[in-house]
Amino acid sequence: MIQTGFILMRLIGGKGMSQQVNASIVDNMRLLWTAIQRSWQRSVKKELHPRELKGTKVLSVKEMTAIKKEKAHFLDFISAYLDYIEFLVMSKPYSIIFCDECGITLSHRVYGIDILVQEGMVWDEDYIGTNAIGTCLKEETPTMVIGEEHDWEVLKGKASFAVPLLDIDCNIIGALGIILTLNDGDPAIMALMIMMADMVSKHWAADKELLLLRDRLAASERAEENVQNNASVLSHEVRNSISTLGAYIQLLQLDKLVDDERANKMLEEMARVNRMMQDFRRLTKYIKFKFSNFNINDVLNKVIEFILPKAQLKGIEIITELDDREVLYINGDMDSIEQVFLNLLENAIQAIERDKGHIWIKSMRGNDSVKIIIRDDGCGISDENKANLFKPFFTTKASGSGIGLAFCKDVLKAHGGDIIAKSQEGEGTSFTITLPLGNRI
């Protein structure tokens, strides 16, 4: 033990190492040395003296196939790090080993050092006694074993280094090991291995989080599809029932069993429920946006041209103030944004209950966004109704479904935008839409 300790300290003081690495190794040397001593003590207690070792254990091909299939993603993930370690020591003879948490070799890279390593070999103290990989897994700490410290005869002329790999909860998920000649066994390698293990652990945690998010997204999409299917079935069944009820009411009306006024009220109510079910189906439908860059003023002009005849029939004047100093590009789904503007203008027309009125449409550029304001001088919204304005199925209209504004809010949120309403009962309502600027075409 004294001689080995001297070797370790001599290696620590070797030329060419930075003071920072020296300090790091010296700080951790006592822990490394204690781990090796405990490993020897375990071997003595189990009477695992070098000449009485059980010898190496190698798992069968069938066992390894099952293990590698289970850990396939981790193996793919770790491959890049093995490449990097190989690159760093490529001028030296080496054997690089990656094991799972049980010390089973899952992958290894060998150049110039033949120590009989193969996939499925178990780095366990019970089989080969004190060794860097088996001891680091047992002690759950980075371990360095030099020359005669090894119990396994094949490793006695080598320097071996190993570090445990941890998951985000600090559970061991494997180990990285490297075996070099004694001449190349600079303890600075341990600093390298510790840094590598830290990188692996952090990146593996991020990778697992990404996989978890992907799984959640897939589950969310499946749930979304179920909602769509259920909404479609519900809408279909309710509309069929409404159609049947409508037919019976008309028959009762013809047979003079129900007076015309009551029959018409029932038919109007069923027509309203039918429209509500159509809107409900649209609200629950998963929208697959097709994003592109387009001029928001072009969309506004298109919607205004479409809605203008309806406004003129009610004597409503549409006044536009579109910022044309430069093209206002946004990146979004043009059809969905067009539907948002159409919904808001339809609402504005319905809100003007008198013979004449006005709707103002304004677009303007901010620092990194576009604002569109749609204002009317209609009936306005009461204070008690403002809080519920964007909630699905809330409406103050006799023939409304309460879906339109909820749809607008969802679409704009999906585009990274927002919509805010301001209203004064008896004076009118304004909606301010904000959307992030896109790139110029």
Residues 239, 234: Cα–Cα separation, whole Å: 8
Higher pLDDT, 235 or 165: 165
Residue 301 confidence class, pLDDT cut points 50, 70, 90: very high
Average pLDDT value over all residues in the chain: 77
- Residue whose structure tokens are 């579109």: 322
Residues sharing a CB contact under 8 Å with residue 425, sequence separation 6 or more, in sequence order: 379, 380, 381, 382, 383
* pLDDT tens-digit series, residues 206-217: 766 666 666 666
For residue 419, give the H/E element and its range: strand 418-424
For the chain, give the percent of residues with pLDDT over 90. 14
Q: How far apart are CA 439 and CA 423, in angstroms?
A: 33
Q: What's the CATH fold of domain 2-211?
A: Beta-Lactamase (3.30.450)
- pTM: predicted TM-score of the whole model, two decimal places: 0.44
pLDDT category at 439 given cuts 50, 70, 90 is low
The 10s digit of each residue's pLDDT in 35-60 is: 656 666 665 555 544 444 556 788 88
DSSP letter string, 91-124: TS-EEEEEE-TT-BEEEEEEEB------TTBB--
The CATH T-level fold of domain 288-436 is Heat Shock Protein 90 (3.30.565)
Structural tokens at position 360? 């103002």
The backbone torsions φ and ψ at residue 96, rounded to the nearest 5 degrees and listed phi first, read -110, 130
Q: Rounded distance, CA 330 to CA 2, Å?
A: 74
Considering 45-59, 82-96, 274-288, the range whose residues carry the highest mean pLDDT is: 82-96
Per-residue DSSP letter, 285: S
Reference 297, options 321, 325, 326, 328; nearest CA is 328
For 93-122, write each residue's pLDDT tens digit: 888 899 998 889 998 888 888 787 888 889
